[in-house]
Chain A
Amino acid sequence: MSEEIPEISPEVETLIGKPLYEEETEFDIEMGYVYNTMAAVQNGNPLYWDKAVAQELCGGQIAPPTMLSVWFRPHYWSPGFEGERTALQTHFDLKRMLELPEAIIAGNESIFGVPVRIGDKLKTHQVIKSISDVKNTKVGEGRFWVINVECVNQHGEHVGTDIYTCLGYRRPAK
């Protein structure tokens, strides 16, 4: 790795604006993870705990909107895969291609469409929207990039978009 943060390469430039990593959820949407999330934040909303309430309000059980990104994270391990598997792979690609070994999610916006229903199969793709010039930040020198993750259900209905603003950086030399 060079000491100077390199210019953005043509290889990276060509990725901006293109749909990347089109994929389906690895399992049908299920209540088990909904209960885990409810328990983790002690959320007693009866919409998720009481089937009669879910039926009356939504015509059946749904997942909380903020769980959108949960459904696209790969299993930690599954047969045929070696090493660590990561969600938001575009983010990790950019870390590598831009030679910025550390990264954090600096901001996140979510837009919620039709509810995600138990039994749904979702599809997603990622789009790099922008990459900044080199910036000096309190954690080190690096670049910000914005990735949109667009999600639809098996009927092609928009269930949501996650917009991630990420900072890839190099820690200052000690």
Chain B
Amino acid sequence: MSVAEIKGLTVDQIKVGDELPPLTQPVTATTVVLGALAARDWRPMHHDKDFAVNRNGVKDIFINTPNNAAWFERYITDWAGPKGRLGRMKFKMSSSVFPGDEMAMSGKVDNIVTDDTGCCWLELSVAVSVDGKVSTSCQTRIAVPKDENDNPWARKGDDWKP
């Protein structure tokens, strides 16, 4: 496959206020454990229900922070395409996501800026909600191509200002 064959957004196709397509994902114990182990997070509250309930005082094992980040990355680059390059992510965790929950991911474009190197940045608000209540919100900066010939991944040194 070549990059030209892959769908992706350029900055001129995006405007402030655009919403990312919603994504829902049912969560099982396997979802939680797969995510924790992929992140090399061996802490028991992400695989041992007894520990989660009796030590952490929560109802079950829950999705860990790095896996939360991986879900956000997947959600954002599903929309932006593979040329989209994350620069910064800031998370606010309000509540945990447990087996039996359904994660609903949403997002919107808050701002579009071009920095002094010509890099085009989107500022996004994305969130994971369960039963209509935000469990984790994330403010993100992602670089997207100016046009089909631009490639944010080629930027380095002083040309990359995340």
Chain A residues engaging chain B, CB cutoff 8 angstroms:
33, 36-37, 39-47, 50, 52-53, 56-58, 64-67, 69-70, 73, 76, 84, 86-87, 102, 104-115, 139, 157, 171
User: Do A40 and B73 have beta carbons less than 8 Å apart?
Assistant: no
Q: Bound complex: CA of A116 vs CA of B122, how far in Å?
A: 22
Look across to chain A and name the residue whose beta carbon is closest to the beta carbon of B77.
A45
Q: Bound complex: CA of A113 vs CA of B35, how far in Å?
A: 24
Q: Bound complex: CA of A57 vs CA of B153, how far in Å?
A: 6
Q: Bound complex: CA of A41 vs CA of B72, how far in Å?
A: 9
Given B40, B55, B82, B160, which contacts A70 in the complex, CB threshold below 8 Å? B40
Q: Bound complex: CA of A155 vs CA of B44, how far in Å?
A: 35
Q: List chain B residues, Cβ under 8 A from A39.
A: 34, 38
**Known A36-B38, A53-B82; contact A64-B70, beta-carbon cutoff 8 A:** yes
User: Do A52 and B1 have beta carbons less than 8 Å apart?
Assistant: yes
**A–B Cβ pairs within 8 angstroms, 10 of them:** A36-B37, A39-B34, A52-B1, A64-B70, A64-B73, A70-B39, A73-B41, A105-B65, A106-B93, A112-B85
User: Do B86 and A112 have beta carbons less than 8 Å apart?
Assistant: yes
User: Do B88 and A67 have beta carbons less than 8 Å apart?
Assistant: no
**Known A53-B2, A111-B87; contact A40-B35, beta-carbon cutoff 8 A:** yes
User: Do A112 and B69 have beta carbons less than 8 Å apart?
Assistant: no
> C-beta contact mask, B29-59 vs A, less than 8 Å → 1, else 0?
0010011011111110000000000011100
User: Do B65 and A108 have beta carbons less than 8 Å apart?
Assistant: yes
Q: Bound complex: CA of A37 vs CA of B69, how far in Å?
A: 11
Q: Bound complex: CA of A87 vs CA of B41, how far in Å?
A: 8
Classify the interface of chain A: helix, strand, loop or mixed: mixed
**Known A39-B34, A41-B35, A43-B70; contact A112-B87, beta-carbon cutoff 8 A:** yes
**Known A41-B35, A73-B39; contact A105-B86, beta-carbon cutoff 8 A:** no
Q: List chain B residues, Cβ under 8 A from A53.
A: 1-3, 6, 82
Tell which of B6, B39, B85 has the most Cβ of chain A within 10 Å.
B39
Tell which of A40, A64, A171 has the most Cβ of chain B within 10 Å.
A40
Q: Cβ of B21 < 8 Å from any Cβ of A?
A: no
Q: List chain B residues, Cβ under 8 A from A107.
A: 90-93
**Known A36-B37, A56-B3; contact A65-B70, beta-carbon cutoff 8 A:** no
Given A57, A65, A70, A115, which contacts B3 in the complex, CB threshold below 8 Å? A57
Q: Bound complex: CA of A37 vs CA of B74, how far in Å?
A: 10
**Known A107-B93, A108-B69; contact A37-B38, beta-carbon cutoff 8 A:** yes
Whole-angstrom distance between the Cβ of A120 and the nearest chain B Cβ: 14
Look across to chain B and name the residue whose beta carbon is closest to the beta carbon of A106.
B93
> C-beta contact mask, B1-28 vs A, less than 8 Å → 1, else 0?
1110010000000000000000001000
Q: Bound complex: CA of A67 vs CA of B86, how far in Å?
A: 12
